[in-house]
Amino acid sequence: MRPMRAAAVVVVSMSMVFTVVVPSATASEEGAPSASALVAAVKSKRKPVAGTKCTVFPDSNYWNADVSKLPVHKSSSTWRKAIGSRNLHPDFGPAGKEEKPYGIPITVVSKSAKKSSVRFYYPGESDRVKYPLSAKTKIEGGGDRHAIIVDKSTCRLYELFDLSRSGSRWNAGSGATWSLKSNKLRKNGWTSADAAGLPILPGLLRYNEVKAGKVEHAIRFTAPVTAKKHIWPARHHAGSRSVKTHPPMGARFRLKKSFSTKGYSKEAKVVIKAMKKYGIVLADNGSGWFFQGEASTKWPSRLIRDLKRIPSSAFEAVDTSKLKRTSNSGRVR
């Protein structure tokens, strides 16, 4: 293994100045945070995951990139029509008659959490590590049964698809883990808890962000039929059509700048602003234009109604190729 050079970073706070020695920038593409990434993390004003101090990936990450000025993709109109003409549909909301709130829940654990082995139905592309699971682990309702777990002590993310428990044994379709401090991607060709091989958490609309008035990342969405191809930073695909007629996993759309927010609630305007600046990312097969948020009882009903009014015709696909630095990193130019 090639030895890594060290770099000294001077970090200035309100009360002190101190020096941190970290690996050089070369190491950042291998998963370790670079000197610049560390400073960015210190300066980041993005909202951390509720109950933690963990922001979701470095500010330089693809999910956090501003795409408002990128060119429109040449296949924009074709891809949009292939997904369907319905309005957007928020795939989350406050609890209704169901016992659980609608959406994908997030479980926060500490370093003392017990970790368990998981038997996977698709072990070849799953991370074979122990996962912090217990009776308190929140699992999404419905068929996908996603579980998203954040270790607040290490800022490590664990995600599982089709999670279930039989006695003392945990079973899942697939599983993956990432460091929220790193831009490192999964091995190309590997799925995750999502068909695109991407993490789910960075694309979830989270209540604490909307409440604070700032959603500073792209949002995950689904399409019924996709291409047999994926584009960076997606690592996997599960489609059957040509990219000339259908969008690939990893395709990114944004809400047009001209879309009017008149008549929308304050919370809806926060989401609309994010969709214009950061866009939405195709991450799985599912109902057309469904986008995901965390399971919470706090989502305002007005917000959900407003988001259902946004027409899919107001979106355009963007060409994100110029954001790419290297194939195995989610760090953008």
Q: For residues 285 and 148, state if they share a domain.
A: yes
3-class DSSP assignment, residue 306: helix
pTM above 0.75, yes or no: yes
Q: In what order do the strands lie in the sheet with 106-109?
A: 106-109, 147-151, 156-161, 174-179
215 inside domain: yes
Alpha-carbon span 106 to 245, nearest angstrom = 35
Report d(CA 217, CA 279) in Å as an integer.
Answer: 8
Residue 25 pLDDT more than 80?
no
Rounded to 5 degrees, φ, ψ at 7 are: -130, 140
| Residue 66 included in any domain | no
Tell me how many domains the chain contains.
Answer: 2
30 and 154 co-located in one domain: no
Per-residue pLDDT of 152-183, as tens digits, reads 999 999 999 999 999 999 999 999 999 999 99
Q: Is residue 70 in a domain?
A: no
113 in a domain, yes or no?
yes
Cα–Cα distances (Å) from 307 to 30, 90, 293, in that order, read 39, 7, 12
Residues 39 and 81 both lie in one domain: no
Q: Are residues 28 and 82 in the same domain?
A: no
150 and 15 inside one domain: no
Q: Which of 220, 236, 216, 219 is nearest to 228 (CA)?
A: 236
- 36 and 101 assigned to the same domain: no
172 shares a domain with 125 = yes
pLDDT of residue 100: 73
Same domain, 7 and 95: no
Residue 59 within a domain: no
Kindly state whether residues 141 and 273 are assigned to the same domain.
Answer: yes
Is position 163 within any domain? yes
Examine residue 55 and state whether it is found in any structural domain, yes or no. no
- The answer to whether residues 34 and 93 belong to one domain is no
**pLDDT tens track for 57-75:** 999 999 999 999 999 999 9
β-strand pairing of 280-285 with 219-223:
parallel
Question: What is the overall mean pLDDT for the chain?
Answer: 89
CB 118 within 8 A of CB 172: yes
Strand, coil or helix: 220: strand
Hey, which residues does 157 pair with through a beta bridge? 150, 178
* pLDDT band, very low/low/confident/very high, at 95 (cuts 50, 70, 90): low
Domain span at 165: 76-323
108 and 207 fall within a common domain: yes
| pLDDT confidence tier of residue 22, bands split at 50, 70 and 90 | very low
Same domain, 39 and 123: no
User: Would you say residue 34 lies in a domain?
Assistant: yes
